[in-house]
Amino acid sequence: MSLEREVELEYRPRMEESLQNKVGAVADSLRGQTPVCPRCSQPMKRHDTETVSWTARFGRFHAPVDRYRCAACKEERRPLLDHLGVEPGRISGSLARLLAVLAVVAPYEMAAQLAWLLLSVKISPMSVWNVVQRLGESVARYNEGLSQYHADSRSEGASTQEAPRAVVLSVDGSMLGMQVRQQRRRRTGCEPLPPLPALQEGHFHEVKTGVLLLPAERVETSPGRHSVVRRFVVSCLGNADDIFRHLYAQLRELGWVGPDTVVVIVGDGAGWIWNRATMFVRRCEILDFWHALEHAWVFARLNFGEGSQRADRWVHQIAEDLRAGKVPDVIERLRRMRPRTPELREKLQALIAYYTEHAGRMRYDEYIRLGYGIGSGAVESAHKQVLHARLRQAGMRWSEAGARRLLALRLLLLNDNWALLDRLPMVSLA
């Protein structure tokens, strides 16, 4: 342990020195080129050289930077900083991306602690937060651009020559606690900050998530347990149209939807899913099997008593029949029941109506035979990974932008697409 740490301590200053040399070499190569004014296109004059510092992976960094000016237009340029993509006093692009990794897996305070333990970088939770806002906004804008691009019928997606026979798309919503305050408190003069208004209960926003996977890639890891080789998660803090736009764009990017591909859509009973599913001409709609059973349970508990064996047996039989594709038989049996109370009769009617409405989405025998699966387990576990594990910890409340940006980054990691971040600029947020 001590030896390894000694080496680290020994080499840290050397890495800083080496970086310093590389920056120096870039500065030298730029010195011969005089920048032109962006407004009048005249060559700018070198005004002065000032020392600029920023925080890099190996410590606080200082470099002399030439400043050029156009007196007529009052324009100013620092070619070295433009070239390096560095902002004075800020965090370097490389360190920013490392901090963002920490922040997508741990709360901001803990991410700052981890930065110290893992990278020997002293940083405030606020600085980590700031980095996430800028990089997250960049990813969110990229995703939005991609979705808009593919919404245009002339867009070019990946080749669909290898498009699969079927692709499964499961969709669901989950709630996220939001901040009630719309604006940050501002200090005016030397007056103390106004007190925070109490948080209202029940102020939530729905995060919609969709998971894309290929049924052909689903493997049985142990009896009854399936896992997929690849899956792509798409999440957004927007409305139903947004999530379907993003899902469609992702399908196009992957080349997963060709002219003969059947898009299998798995969802609970929520209307917003089925209303949008119609955008896919060749589709197969599946009502999540466990949601279908849960409705039977609600009635069984009331009718036969909570935890009773009869309720157990009754639901078990329905499960077996539904799995065998006998929805009409199940509905027929329900119709013949004569419940004792008006309340029970009403609940039974609701169950019959639910099964009748979704009968076309409950041909479970066929879905099993075709390998489509019958449940939305994939999207439910995705919700836990995307949302619960980072954004739904005790007492967490989010601003709309804060949640949107962190989600965008977290999805990069979960989709094993973190490298994309290297190709995106860090957005400036005023």
Q: How far is it, in rounded angstroms, from Cα 171 to Cα 268?
A: 8
Contact call for residues 91 and 426 (beta carbons, < 8 A): no
Q: Closer to Zn ion by CB, 40 or 175: give it.
A: 40
Looking at 19, 23, 37, 128, which residue binds Zn ion (CB under 5 A)?
37
Choose the binding region for Zn ion from 33-41, 86-94, 207-215, 321-329 (rule: CB under 5 A).
33-41
Q: Closer to Zn ion by CB, 67 or 347: give it.
A: 67
Considering the rule CB under 5 A, would residue 40 count as an interface residue with Zn ion?
Answer: yes
Minimum distance from CB of 42 to Zn ion (Å)? Answer: 5
Considering the rule CB under 5 A, would residue 296 count as an interface residue with Zn ion?
Answer: no
Q: Closer to Zn ion by CB, 42 or 341: give it.
A: 42
Amino acid at 415: N
Amino acid at 157: G
Choose the binding region for Zn ion from 14-22, 62-70, 140-148, 375-383 (rule: CB under 5 A).
62-70
Q: Closer to Zn ion by CB, 73 or 199: give it.
A: 73
Minimum distance from CB of 39 to Zn ion (Å)? Answer: 5
Q: How far is it, in rounded angstroms, from Cα 172 to Cα 210?
A: 7
- In the stretch 69-108, what mask flags binding to Zn ion with x, by CB under 5 A? -x--x-----------------------------------
Minimum distance from CB of 1 to Zn ion (Å)? Answer: 58
Choose the binding region for Zn ion from 66-74, 182-190, 271-279, 366-374 (rule: CB under 5 A).
66-74
Nearest to 104 by CA among 382, 389, 429, 379: 389
Q: Closer to Zn ion by CB, 37 or 111: give it.
A: 37
Choose the binding region for Zn ion from 67-75, 88-96, 184-192, 209-217 (rule: CB under 5 A).
67-75
Q: Closer to Zn ion by CB, 65 or 70: give it.
A: 70
Instruction: Report strand pairing: 225-228 vs 232-236.
Output: unpaired
Query: DSSP 3-state assignment of 285?
Result: strand
Choose the binding region for Zn ion from 38-46, 51-59, 262-270, 330-338 (rule: CB under 5 A).
38-46
Choose the binding region for Zn ion from 21-29, 30-38, 336-344, 382-390 (rule: CB under 5 A).
30-38
Structure tokens at 47: 């005004």
Minimum distance from CB of 45 to Zn ion (Å)? Answer: 10
Contact call for residues 60 and 86 (beta carbons, < 8 A): no
Instruction: Report strand pairing: 283-287 vs 262-267.
Output: parallel
Instruction: Report strand pairing: 204-213 vs 166-177.
Output: antiparallel
Looking at 5, 22, 31, 39, which residue binds Zn ion (CB under 5 A)?
39
Contact call for residues 80 and 66 (beta carbons, < 8 A): yes
Nearest to 52 by CA among 29, 86, 76: 86
Minimum distance from CB of 182 to Zn ion (Å)? Answer: 41
φ, ψ (nearest 5 deg) of residue 62: -125, 140
Structure tokens at 264: 């299998």
Minimum distance from CB of 214 to Zn ion (Å)? Answer: 56
Q: How many residues bind Zn ion (CB under 5 A)?
A: 5
Phi-psi region of 189 (alpha: psi -120 to 50; beta: other; left: phi over 0): left
Q: Closer to Zn ion by CB, 40 or 216: give it.
A: 40
Query: DSSP 3-state assignment of 201?
Result: coil
Beta strands in 279-377 (DSSP E): 283-287
Instruction: Point out which residues bind Zn ion (CB under 5 A).
Output: 37, 39-40, 70, 73
